[in-house]
């Protein structure tokens, strides 16, 4: 028997007048009350959110459900499809008895529906439309994260960018960065750096090695042009917002690059979008799946930038949802800014688990209706403990919620369907071909063959030594020296950097 009073008392805290995302119905004593709906007002989606839970508890389906309703409300979304199980958004769901029973139980007039999906991949070997960013645009902070650099190496990279930025020198791809680092560690380059500190050979060596690893993991096909324009993500098809699905392709073996790229996107959005104030619905909602990848081993500077970006992007009308197994994966300064909480079941096997559980319980408003420690470990699949911000910005009552089933297909649609959808996308013509515009590397490379025509006197031991040897040879060539001299005194527009060390336009 449902305790209608309790369920409806809870739901009254969610009864917003304006448009909202319907999550599902309140559950008391294992029974859902179809009359007691739990909703997130669209107007407070720019106050961000968290979707958490143990594996298999329904996090991804919750993201799917949120994305669907946002699309129907005309709001475009960006979803990181780490496990490749969100492509079903492009096709109507299959329904079935179990699903329709669930929908009925919670007062959901379920209908199979498909959504306008734009499939995107990092680099050129994925199935979606290839997207890229230039090294210059990424900037030293994000790149240091991708390269796994320590604080000293991070600041060395900062110095290298500073040198290039001041000269308006475009570092488009990894080859460009490599040639600039090699120049700055050469005798000639060292002269240039006088007054701003030098680039130590040790740090430069580490950075070059990390760069090689990154290239081997597909970074070389991601860094370059044409660079993604964020406006291409803010589209509508008819009245529906576009669902941008970013896949982590099989060859793309660097999840850190993936999550850092998402942070770059957010930083780009911050730079590009005008101040919006409080809107009745967000301009875009961004879902960060596997968010722990972003926070693990992150430097203080990096974490500070995430915190700042999340704080400030709100006023641009962008909502951010982090998705992770445990809320404790998200650092407190970020966690405390997440207004909506959809917490799926937590496993509490080990003492560590228990600690995380009681920490999680403490982050909820008090409730007389549930024993939260018990509730959080006994939630069914596709159920969650929810609290969001009401339209007045106050936390809503804690609600054990049975979530709506997604209306699109649960699961993947298959490789061919993704490929053909990507090929017929409007973005295909714009982004499918890599443009290798002449930049630092090309200018240098032109000179290298003549310079290194004679074999080097000492036999190089490893690849790096060989690179360095080649470079020394190249530096003996007056044409190469003059290239760098002209770069060093170039009057190109100086690159300025934003909150995240990303390039300002
Ligand atoms: N809202 C829902 N409606 C109906 N079924 C659901 C719902 N949520 C979850 N399920 C069922 O539970 C299964 C697992 O859900 P999901 O893939 O979302 O889990 P997850 O938390 O993302 O797991 P993982 O951490 O492994 O990625 C789904 O395949 C589906 O059968
Ligand atoms: Mg999942």
Q: Does pLDDT of 457 surpass 50?
A: no
**Between residues 111 and 472, which one has the greater pLDDT?**
111
User: Which CATH number characterizes residue 265's domain?
Assistant: 3.40.50.300
> Which pLDDT value is given to residue 188?
77
- Report the separation in Å between the CA atom of 56 and the middle of ligand 2, taken as the mean of its atom positions: 7
Q: Does pLDDT of 14 surpass 70?
A: yes
Statement to judge: residues 113 and 145 lie in one domain: no
> Which pLDDT value is given to residue 82?
82
Best mean pLDDT range from 11-20, 139-148, 401-410: 401-410
Among 45-59, 122-136, 242-256, 386-400, name the one with the lowest average pLDDT: 242-256
CB atoms within 10 A of CB 79: 26
- Residue 458: inside a domain: yes
Confidence of residue 83 (pLDDT cuts 50, 70, 90): confident
Task: Summarize the confidence of residues 44-50 as an average pLDDT.
Answer: 96
> Which pLDDT value is given to residue 474?
58
**Between residues 470 and 57, which one has the greater pLDDT?**
57
Statement to judge: residues 359 and 279 lie in one domain: yes
Rg (CA), the chain: 25
Cβ of residue 53 lying under 6 Å from some atom of ligand 1: yes
Atom of ligand 1 lying closest to residue 382 CA: 8
Q: Does pLDDT of 473 surpass 70?
A: no
CB neighbour list of residue 362: distance below 8 Å, 6 or more residues apart: none
Among residues 2, 72, 28, 41, the alpha carbon closest in space to that of 408 is found at 72
Atom of ligand 1 lying closest to residue 57 CA: 21
Cβ of residue 407 lying under 6 Å from some atom of ligand 1: no
Task: Summarize the confidence of residues 79-107 as an average pLDDT.
Answer: 94
Task: Summarize the confidence of residues 381-392 as an average pLDDT.
Answer: 96
Q: Does pLDDT of 108 surpass 50?
A: yes
Statement to judge: residues 121 and 25 lie in one domain: yes
- Residue 504: inside a domain: no
Ligand 1: which of 61, 80, 96, 323 to mutate, most ligand atoms within 8 Å of CB?
61
- Residue 501: inside a domain: no
Statement to judge: residues 326 and 371 lie in one domain: yes
**Residue 394 vs residues 111, 211, 339: alpha-carbon distances, Å:** 32, 47, 9
Atom of ligand 1 lying closest to residue 85 CA: 17
Cβ of residue 410 lying under 6 Å from some atom of ligand 1: yes
> Which pLDDT value is given to residue 482?
57
Best mean pLDDT range from 98-102, 198-202, 270-274, 474-478: 98-102
Cβ of residue 88 lying under 6 Å from some atom of ligand 1: no
Statement to judge: residues 107 and 251 lie in one domain: yes
3 state SS of 362: helix
Ligand 1: which of 81, 83, 86, 381 to mutate, most ligand atoms within 8 Å of CB?
381
Statement to judge: residues 113 and 184 lie in one domain: no
Task: Give the whole-angstrom CA distance, residue 386 versus residue 474.
Answer: 62
State the chain's mean pLDDT as an integer.
Answer: 86
Joined tokens for residue 453? 């025509």
Statement to judge: residues 152 and 9 lie in one domain: no
Q: Does pLDDT of 461 surpass 80?
A: no
Among 209-223, 375-389, 426-440, 463-477, name the one with the lowest average pLDDT: 463-477
Statement to judge: residues 88 and 105 lie in one domain: yes
Task: Summarize the confidence of residues 52-60 as an average pLDDT.
Answer: 96
- CA torsion angle for 218, 223, 229, 230 (degrees, to 10)? 60
Q: Does pLDDT of 485 surpass 70?
A: no
pLDDT in tens, 150-168: 989 999 999 999 888 887 7
Q: Does pLDDT of 355 surpass 60?
A: yes
Element (H, E) at 248: none
**Between residues 462 and 293, which one has the greater pLDDT?**
293
Statement to judge: residues 401 and 456 lie in one domain: no
Cβ of residue 60 lying under 6 Å from some atom of ligand 1: yes
- Report the separation in Å between the CA atom of 57 and the middle of ligand 1, taken as the mean of its atom positions: 6
pLDDT in tens, 405-428: 999 999 999 989 999 999 999 899
pTM: 0.88
pLDDT in tens, 269-312: 999 999 998 899 999 999 988 888 888 878 888 888 889 999 99
> Which pLDDT value is given to residue 227?
93
Domain that holds residue 181: 135-222+434-489
Cβ of residue 409 lying under 6 Å from some atom of ligand 1: no
Atom of ligand 1 lying closest to residue 65 CA: 1
Confidence of residue 481 (pLDDT cuts 50, 70, 90): low
pLDDT in tens, 19-36: 999 999 999 999 999 999
Statement to judge: residues 422 and 453 lie in one domain: no
- Report the separation in Å between the CA atom of 218 and the middle of ligand 2, taken as the mean of its atom positions: 24
Into how many domains does the chain fold? 2
Cβ of residue 466 lying under 6 Å from some atom of ligand 1: no
**200-233 residues labelled b (16+ CB within 10 A) or e (exposed):** eeebbebbbebbbebbebbbbbbbbbbbbebebb
Percent of the chain whose predicted confidence (pLDDT) is above 70:
87
3 state SS of 281: coil
Task: Give the whole-angstrom CA distance, residue 380 versus residue 57.
Answer: 7
CA angle at 153 for the pair 150 and 159, rounded to the nearest 5°: 140
Joined tokens for residue 30? 């294992």
Statement to judge: residues 318 and 398 lie in one domain: yes
Statement to judge: residues 89 and 162 lie in one domain: no
Element (H, E) at 415: helix 415-423
């Amino acid at each position: 028997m449902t305790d209608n009073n309790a369920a409806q008392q809870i739901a009254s805290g969610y009864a917003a007048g304006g448009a909202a995302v319907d999550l599902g119905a309140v559950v008391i004593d294992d029974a859902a009350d179809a009359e007691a709906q739990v909703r997130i007002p669209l107007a407070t989606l720019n106050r961000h959110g968290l979707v958490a839970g143990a594996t298999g508890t329904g996090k991804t389906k919750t993201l799917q459900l949120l994305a669907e309703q946002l699309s129907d409300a005309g709001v475009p979304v960006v979803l990181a499809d780490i496990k490749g199980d969100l492509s079903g958004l492009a096709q109507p769901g299959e329904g079935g008895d179990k699903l329709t029973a669930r929908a009925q139980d919670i007062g959901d007039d379920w209908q199979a529906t498909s959504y306008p999906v734009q499939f995107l991949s990092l680099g050129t070997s994925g199935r979606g439309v290839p997207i890229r960013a230039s090294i210059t645009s990424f900037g030293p902070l994000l790149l240091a994260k991708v390269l796994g650099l320590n604080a000293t190496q991070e600041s060395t990279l900062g110095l290298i960018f500073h040198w290039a930025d001041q000269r308006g020198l475009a570092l488009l791809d990894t080859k460009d960065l490599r040639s600039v680092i090699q120049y700055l560690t050469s005798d000639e380059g060292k002269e240039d750096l006088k007054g701003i500190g030098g680039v130590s050979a040790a740090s430069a060596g580490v950075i070059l090695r990390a760069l090689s690893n990154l290239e081997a993991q597909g970074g070389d096909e991601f860094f370059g042009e044409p660079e993604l324009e964020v406006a291409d993500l803010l589209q509508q098809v008819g009245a529906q917002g576009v669902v941008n699905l970013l896949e982590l392709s099989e060859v793309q073996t660097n999840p850190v690059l993936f999550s850092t790229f998402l942070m770059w996107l957010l930083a780009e959005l911050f730079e590009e979008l005008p101040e919006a104030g409080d809107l009745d619905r967000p301009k875009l909602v961004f879902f960060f799946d596997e968010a722990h990848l972003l926070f693990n081993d992150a430097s203080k500077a990096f974490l500070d930038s995430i915190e700042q970006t999340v704080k400030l992007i709100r006023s641009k009308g962008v909502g951010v949802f982090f998705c992770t197994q445990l809320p404790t994966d998200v650092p407190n300064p970020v966690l405390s800014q997440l207004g909506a909480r959809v917490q799926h079941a937590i496993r509490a096997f080990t003492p560590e688990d228990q600690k995380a559980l009681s920490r999680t319980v403490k982050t909820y408003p008090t409730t007389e209706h549930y024993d939260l420690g018990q509730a959080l470990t006994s939630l069914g699949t596709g159920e969650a403990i929810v609290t969001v911000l009401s339209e007045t910005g106050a936390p809503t009552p804690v609600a054990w919620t049975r979530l709506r089933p997604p209306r699109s297909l649960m699961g993947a649609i298959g490789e061919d369907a993704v490929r053909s959808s990507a090929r017929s996308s409007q973005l295909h013509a714009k982004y499918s071909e890599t443009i290798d515009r002449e930049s630092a590397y090309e200018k240098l490379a032109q000179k290298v063959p003549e310079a290194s025509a004679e074999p080097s006197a000492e036999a190089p031991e490893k690849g790096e030594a060989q690179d360095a040897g080649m470079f020394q040879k190249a530096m003996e060539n007056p044409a190469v020296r003059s290239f760098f001299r002209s770069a060093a005194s170039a009057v190109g527009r100086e690159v300025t950097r934003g909150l995240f060390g990303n390039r300002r336009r």
